[in-house]
Structure 1
Amino acid sequence: MKISINRLKKYIPLDQDSEKISDMLTQSGLEVEGLDKFESIKGGLEGVLIGEVLTCEKHPDADKLSLTTVDIGEESPVQIVCGAPNVAKGQKVLVATVGCMLYPKDSEGFKIKKAKIRGQESFGMICAEDELGLGSSHDGIMILDTDLANGTPASDLIDVGMDEILEIGLTPNRADAASHLGVARDLKALLGKDLEIDPAPDLEIEAKGPAISVEVEDSKDCPRYAGVVVTDLKVAPSPSWLQNFLRSLDLEPINNVVDITNFILHDLGQPLHAFDAEKISDGKIKVGRMPKDTKFVTLDEKERKLSGEELMIQDSKGGLCIAGIFGGLNSGVSDSTKTIFLESAYFSPDITRKGAQFHGLKTDASFRFERGTDPNMPVYALKMAVKLLKEIAGGKVSSEIIDIYPDPVKDFVIEVDYGRINRLIGKTITPQEVKTILEGLEIEVKDETESGFTAVVKPYRVDVTREADIIEEILRIHGFSQVELSEHLSTDYLAEHPVKDLDQLQFKLSEFLASRGFSEIITNSLTSSNYSEKSDFLDPQLNVEIYNRLSEDLDVMRQTLLFTGLEVLAHNINRKQTNLRFFEFGTTYKKSEKGYSETSRLSIFLSGNKSEESWLGESKPFAFTDIYATVNDALGKLGITPSTVDVIESSPFDYGLILKLGEKELGRFGLLDSQSLKQTGVRQDVWFAELDWQLIGNKSKGLKKYEAISKFPEVRRDLSLVIDKSVSYQEVEAIAKKSGGRLLKRINVFDVYQGEKIAEDKKAYALSFYLQDQENTLTDKVIDKTMSKLISVFEKETGALIRT
């Protein structure tokens, strides 16, 4: 679960830094597993300043370049060579200064360096929109309309959303903490500060809307159901603050109405659902069950058969939504929606859990309903959502709030004994501290006596129902580390806990590579600074220097395994050993913000021919497919599949690929460029891969386990797709895997065509799709449905022409 530090500060004043907050939450039982920075514009425009073009003249040695001087607030103007056609004297512009990093969209970024362009020095760059990551336009530089002084940081002009995000490993019992408000409540108790919660606004009917009636058939499984009609909505993209909030939590903004429901869910922990009111037949909502085996199509376009046990939100024609789990395909908000019925309910954890398990669905809403939400929250959350709908989407309240709550959920009343508190915790805690802790957790203490008291717990704390639970709450806020350990303390455990052994994984992977003819090398961690100084992809400023060096050639720690490995290749090639396969597990070193960092890496080298000359067959040189297969098979051995694959054409490669797992880079591989080879004296092609072994080891699921061969036959279907040349196979494969479902086992390309028979900007892929069901023999109907869906998705998302 991801939590925004900025949003927490809306609830409680936080003077502590994020590291301290993380430690406090972890010590209290909300384990913070990660702390990441979020920037709506990568790099935060750091080092980009507002400047003014003082002079603009034609470059003496280049027709398409201009030689400018720019005032960026320093003692004297800086000279910048600019290639934009629209640069002119007197313009206010954005200037990337020497040393800053720019991150264009879909790029790893580049560093601004002092340069000499056609004989003229340039001390920065006047930027276009796409170069700053603000958009895609590259028609010319950005021209500003601002009165801000020259030298003002660009972030003062352009809203840069910046945040720090906590990754909390939420345990199943802490349903109350599945929101920003829930985490803020814990910080309230830990810091002894008050929460700042906005009061619910008073809603008055502002316009006439459709009349919606609600009937709840089973108040046991749906104890509370609330809703309101909002009209005159303008469905559009959300404002930047809301989009940034959602993106910081790894959620993709959809539109202002849906984004508001997602905001409330993560902010207050209350799931909401917006129905297009015009699609509610006869204006009637019923919460109840539908017959077993009734077919219902959900938002993911899958047809599901109901168990007959799950709660359904229905109208007079049929199902609209699986209550608390997933919406129906035809009842949700679209771009044309003007009026909604906004639902806010409390569903029984048991009925939600059974429905989610039966349908194999896990959503943000079911995650919370299954564990238990706050039955007192629905109306407050509804009002806060309507407030945002009015502000952001122009909505108008068009009905009274419907609130069906016949049997309010009662508080938990628990008798607590002071003696048992001290006995279970193992130390004496004063009654005053006990009272302070519990009141900080919004647990009322009443009927106090010398021996104990009565605790009244609000129902959102579904995990606090017994005296032992109250004692646990006292202990976690008091601090587990504050309880002194006995000198004679001992413990034991009943079950084995397998630990991932990175050394064992490394040994098994080494065996695997050795079985493919590779030799392991071990090279020196000390290397020459010349490599980084003469390479475009290494930053000499990050070198870890050796102050008591024994040799001028070994003056820094290596930033990459590349050059020490190439030295080994050169040594062998110079001795007529030209067909080489090497791998190395080693450590690389860099300076970092916290001092120094080191990372475990795996490097792989291929050079020369696949085999020695023989009368049995022709000897072929290593090719891209060989390094690709080696990397792919090595990752597959450890159960890792990259989430994205991007093309790279930058140093030290002539060309190659970057593999990513989520946002993190697994590694990169390809054909080394001549500059890198020249530095070590290697005079033949080298295919090189460098992988992040630490990340691979941490994300590995262990050695690949084998499955029994299916009893049911595999079916092959072929398609020929004519697509734009700009569409990569990886995009086609990703679309197929996403849309093909569990039946699609693998995809193969058996032909690629570019030529006279199709347009110049097109190419044709001949693809084979292999379908298999582990439990049944596939029928033509099922196969045709899967292939029809694939065809439809290819046509929609890639503009493909399907050739028959």
Structure 2
Amino acid sequence: MIVTYNWLKEFVDCDLPPAELSHLLTMLGLEVERMEEVGGGMDDVVVAQVVEKNQHPNADKLSLCKVDNGKEILDVVCGAQNFKAGDKVALAQIGATLPGDFKIKRSKIRGEESCGMLCSEKELALSTESSGIMILPEEFQVGTPLFDALGTKDVIFEIGLTPNRADCLSVVGIAREVAAKLGKKVHYPGLEVNETGAPIADIASVEILAPELCPRYTARHITGCTLADSPAWLANRLMAAGIRAINNIVDVTNYVLLEYGHPLHAFDFKLLAGGKIVVAAAGDGEKFGTLDGQERELTATDLTIRDGEKAVALAGIMGGGNSEIGEGTTEVLLESAYFNPSAIRKTSKRLGIHTESSHRFERGADIAGLTRALDRAAQLIAELSGGKVAKGVIDVYPAPVEPRVISARLSRINAVSGLELSADEVEDIFRRLEFDVAQTAPGVFQVKVPLFRVDLEREIDLVEEVVRLNGFDKVPATLPQASVFSDLPSDAQRLAARVKDLLVAHGLNEVINYSFVAPSSCEKILLPGEDLRSNGMVLLNPISDELSVMRTTMLPGLLDTAVKNISFRTLNLRIFEMRRIYLPVEGEDLPQEPLYVSALLTGRRDPEGWNQGKDEIDFFDVKGIAENLLSELNVGGVNFSTEELDPYYHPGKACRILSGRKVLGSLGELHPTVQENYGIATPLYYLELNFEALLACRKKQGAAQVPSRFPSTFRDIAMLLPRELPVADVISCVNGVKAPELEGVEIFDLYMGGNIASHEKSVAIRVRYGSKERTLTDDEVTRLHQRVIDALQKKLNVSFR
């Protein structure tokens, strides 16, 4: 919110210097983020009079002028042609510094000396555009500093408001705060609407078809208006607030918006079919052209203002191009209404439109004060345009809202704040805030909160008001009294920390990404389904359209992190994230939120150095990390399967991780298309584990096994397998031979090509036999080994080499 010092002083008697007023506002919770002096340090820009205007001898488009600054006659070269001798103009003298840090120096222009510069409104930051130099009123005294003559020397305060303080989105609202703090009265504008026109009931009508979205709608009619530029005082006030002046009618609505904080809208009444207003929801798919020249597609959740035939405004957000004030406007229907904040917020967010009006309606307007804003605007439009205001006001208010009554206790106020205020002091604070208050019992207050304070709902809110007005600096510094205790981490928390430690020990770095992703992520990672919105939970109020869906996998976030790092030439990446994903459940409002641990690796296996390795990370690096994690968590029955892989994996270079038949996660190289979509040239390896599934599959910790005193015996088996048969099946088959003397099996050779048929592969395993009671004889080992060979031949139909 932007407010100026002079404007504020019109509403409250405040003699505080601007710097002190800035501190007072900040201490009231209205933080002043910027304070700018208008016209300060520009006393070298003065009112001057053109004595002579002659053609420049060396340039067709320049004039050589003699200008009187009240002390001497100066030669000034000027390129503008919109002035003549005798005009009073704005002269920036030598040494002046104009906005943009532009310093005026003595100079020669095409051989002629120029001792200053004749300025336009734009060059003095008094307007955003201008067609020539600034021509000043005849009554201005020559030699007077320009900003003193204009009366525009001022200080601009830019206040950063929290969303709950909608009442301070106006000059009146901020003046009310200052007056309450200083114990002053607010000087509200006098409202004297001269109603000289015909009865408004004979001219226009209003009907509300959606009272839940528009509880109140008021209107006035003004005829005989003459469209013109706004007077300087009005244009300057708007420009100080960052609003461009348009014409006297539109500018009044913007001025009252800033003054009272209530949005208004002016319709060209002749463009309203049937002379009526209907407040109703839009039709699904209805097209509507807004004032910014854009055509919007509306839905049934959007509230519109309609005439007898069509939509003429997007309620509370923006008017329509089909009813705007323009050349030829003589009749105006002035709207002042209240709209449901959530409805305005949803429409504004969906359409991507944020206006001064929607900003205020989203936060909650004053439903009781909209008629004051209406009367103020009608009064100013009549004065500035010469129009006549119709008799009466249209006020459709089917269910009047009553002010909220909140009970507050003095004991509670002092206990929370640490203050020792009396009942009279607290009551005085409430009255200064314009609250109706009565003590129903000693130290018990019944406070009727005005409707402009939409943020006050409970007793604790009133406690804050008392502390705020009394002064945050007066709150004593005391230590809180509380019991201090510590809960031991649960097994799951302890194991989660252990998993992170293990990943860090493997050289991975933890990252934390947003829990939401872009709808287009499904296309980039080849997830099933036509649209991620059909798979993920869509946020009602997303930060942006690119972060609007809750993630169903952590892969997109990790890939985005990888892209950013690689763009900064960090090419060897090992990152992981341990967070929750969000899986929608059919028929349920809320999703499942399992905890997942995911990792992404790319680049070289070893760090760069004198003896740096040239090998790249591969599938087995990621598989080794997964196996270490599973071993550390004591997960039993682990096996790997290449079936039913997610489509973002490279076929033949990935697998699922299972415990028995329960899926624990997956790992492998990502599909080349995924790399291409993210613009990454090197192979990417991904690991994803469902941490909660891991915990469910943990084995009980058994007793430590004493190693055998007797030597073990090893036998090797070389065999031919079909290429598509996983070697894990061989290991499972050997382990399936029930014999206590079979101590273990491992693969030590895999070969394809050469003399091996193209559909086969050669695999060699080593089986270890032993006993804890004695040394096995060669015959015993041979019989056991034959059982293993028979099992492989029978179950897998392998051939031996």
State TM-score, norm by structure 2.
0.54
**Contact 1:44–1:162 under 8 Å retained in 2:** no
Shift of 1:441: 0.7
| 1:391-402 pair list within 5 angstroms | 391-402=383-394
1:206 counterpart = 2:202: no
1:423 paired residue among 394, 412, 415: 415
Which one-letter code corresponds to 1:359 in the other structure?
L
1:236 counterpart = 2:228: yes
Shift of 1:89: 11
Aligned residue in 2 for 1:381? 373
Shift of 1:448: 4.3
Distance 1:365 1:128, change over 3 A: closer
Q: Distance in 1 between matches of 2:53 and 2:347?
A: 69
Q: Distance in 1 between matches of 2:117 and 2:397?
A: 62
Which one-letter code corresponds to 2:372 in the other structure?
Y
Aligned residue in 1 for 2:19? 19
Which one-letter code corresponds to 2:277 in the other structure?
I
Name the stretch that deviates more: 160-169 or 460-469. Answer: 160-169
1:210-256 alpha-carbon deviations (Å, 9 max, x no partner) = 72111112333222110011111112221111111111111111221
2:447 paired residue among 440, 455, 463: 455
Q: Distance in 2 between matches of 1:64 and 1:294?
A: 53
1:363 counterpart = 2:355: yes
Which one-letter code corresponds to 1:333 in the other structure?
I
| 1:480-491 pair list within 5 angstroms | 480-486=472-478
**Contact 2:64–2:78 under 8 Å retained in 1:** no
Name the stretch that deviates more: 214-223 or 422-431. Answer: 214-223
2:311 paired residue among 312, 319, 336: 319
**Contact 2:5–2:155 under 8 Å retained in 1:** yes
1:336-378 alpha-carbon deviations (Å, 9 max, x no partner) = 2111211111112232223323333222111111111111112
1:112 paired residue among 97, 105, 115: 105
Q: Distance in 2 between matches of 1:261 and 1:69?
A: 43
Aligned residue in 2 for 1:701? none
Which one-letter code corresponds to 2:315 in the other structure?
A
Shift of 1:205: 3.3
Q: Distance in 2 between matches of 1:217 and 1:91?
A: 58
1:28 counterpart = 2:31: no
SS at match of 1:235: coil
SS at match of 2:206: strand
**Contact 2:87–2:135 under 8 Å retained in 1:** no
1:294 counterpart = 2:304: no
2:157 paired residue among 146, 153, 166: 166
Distance 1:58 1:475, change over 3 A: closer
Aligned residue in 2 for 1:414? 406
Which one-letter code corresponds to 1:46 in the other structure?
D
Distance 1:476 1:64, change over 3 A: closer
Distance 1:497 1:147, change over 3 A: same
State the superposition RMSD in angstroms.
4.5
Q: Distance in 1 between matches of 2:84 and 2:350?
A: 66
Distance 1:52 1:491, change over 3 A: farther
SS at match of 1:205: strand
**Contact 1:48–1:95 under 8 Å retained in 2:** yes
1:706-727 alpha-carbon deviations (Å, 9 max, x no partner) = x99879xxxxxxxxxxxxxxxx
**Contact 1:52–1:72 under 8 Å retained in 2:** no
2:180 paired residue among 171, 177, 189: 189
SS at match of 1:199: coil
Bigger Rg over Cα: 2
Q: Distance in 2 between matches of 1:430 and 1:513?
A: 63
Q: Distance in 2 between matches of 1:67 and 1:237?
A: 31
**Contact 2:76–2:115 under 8 Å retained in 1:** no
Distance 1:26 1:68, change over 3 A: closer
1:766-789 alpha-carbon deviations (Å, 9 max, x no partner) = xxxxxxxxxxxxxxxxxxxxxxxx
Distance 1:497 1:486, change over 3 A: farther
1:437 counterpart = 2:429: yes
Shift of 1:67: 11
1:336 counterpart = 2:328: yes
Which one-letter code corresponds to 2:22 in the other structure?
S
| 1:55-66 pair list within 5 angstroms | none
Q: Distance in 1 between matches of 2:269 and 2:238?
A: 26
Q: Distance in 1 between matches of 2:568 and 2:321?
A: 49
Aligned residue in 2 for 1:309? 301
Which one-letter code corresponds to 1:28 in the other structure?
L
Aligned residue in 2 for 1:697? none
Aligned residue in 2 for 1:48? 46
**Contact 1:224–1:403 under 8 Å retained in 2:** yes
Aligned residue in 1 for 2:732? none
Aligned residue in 2 for 1:466? 458
Q: Distance in 2 between matches of 1:488 and 1:497?
A: 35
Distance 1:335 1:81, change over 3 A: closer
Q: Distance in 1 between matches of 2:403 and 2:86?
A: 69
1:628-658 alpha-carbon deviations (Å, 9 max, x no partner) = xxxxxxxxxxxxxxxxxxxxxxxxxxxxxxx
Shift of 1:406: 2.5
Aligned residue in 1 for 2:95? 99
Distance 1:26 1:491, change over 3 A: farther
**Contact 2:33–2:160 under 8 Å retained in 1:** yes
Q: Distance in 1 between matches of 2:395 and 2:132?
A: 54
Distance 1:196 1:291, change over 3 A: same
Shift of 1:482: 1.0
Shift of 1:480: 1.4
| 1:539-550 pair list within 5 angstroms | none
Q: Distance in 2 between matches of 1:147 and 1:293?
A: 58
SS at match of 1:397: strand
**Contact 2:175–2:186 under 8 Å retained in 1:** yes
SS at match of 1:206: strand
Shift of 1:111: 2.2
Q: Distance in 1 between matches of 2:59 and 2:286?
A: 73
Q: Distance in 2 between matches of 1:228 and 1:29?
A: 36
Q: Distance in 2 between matches of 1:324 and 1:126?
A: 45
Which one-letter code corresponds to 1:101 in the other structure?
T
Shift of 1:182: 0.9
Distance 1:126 1:273, change over 3 A: closer
Which one-letter code corresponds to 2:334 in the other structure?
L
1:271-301 alpha-carbon deviations (Å, 9 max, x no partner) = 1111111121112211122332233232233
Shift of 1:390: 0.9
Aligned residue in 1 for 2:4? 4
Distance 1:221 1:112, change over 3 A: same
1:88-145 alpha-carbon deviations (Å, 9 max, x no partner) = 9999887654423356xxx7533234x799999x894474768975997789x98995
SS at match of 2:156: strand
Shift of 1:48: 2.7
| 1:486-505 pair list within 5 angstroms | 486=478
Stretches of structure 2 lacking an aligned partner (at least 5 in a row)? 485-511, 515-563, 571-673, 679-801
Distance 1:427 1:125, change over 3 A: closer
Shift of 1:328: 2.0
Q: Distance in 1 between matches of 2:241 and 2:423?
A: 40
1:259 counterpart = 2:246: no
Q: Distance in 1 between matches of 2:60 and 2:207?
A: 76
**Contact 1:99–1:111 under 8 Å retained in 2:** yes
Distance 1:315 1:483, change over 3 A: same
Distance 1:202 1:247, change over 3 A: closer
SS at match of 2:196: coil
**Contact 1:235–1:335 under 8 Å retained in 2:** yes
Aligned residue in 2 for 1:179? 170
Aligned residue in 1 for 2:646? none
Which one-letter code corresponds to 2:104 in the other structure?
K
Q: Distance in 1 between matches of 2:60 and 2:286?
A: 72
| 1:693-732 pair list within 5 angstroms | none
Q: Distance in 1 between matches of 2:178 and 2:249?
A: 30
| Identity value in percent | 36
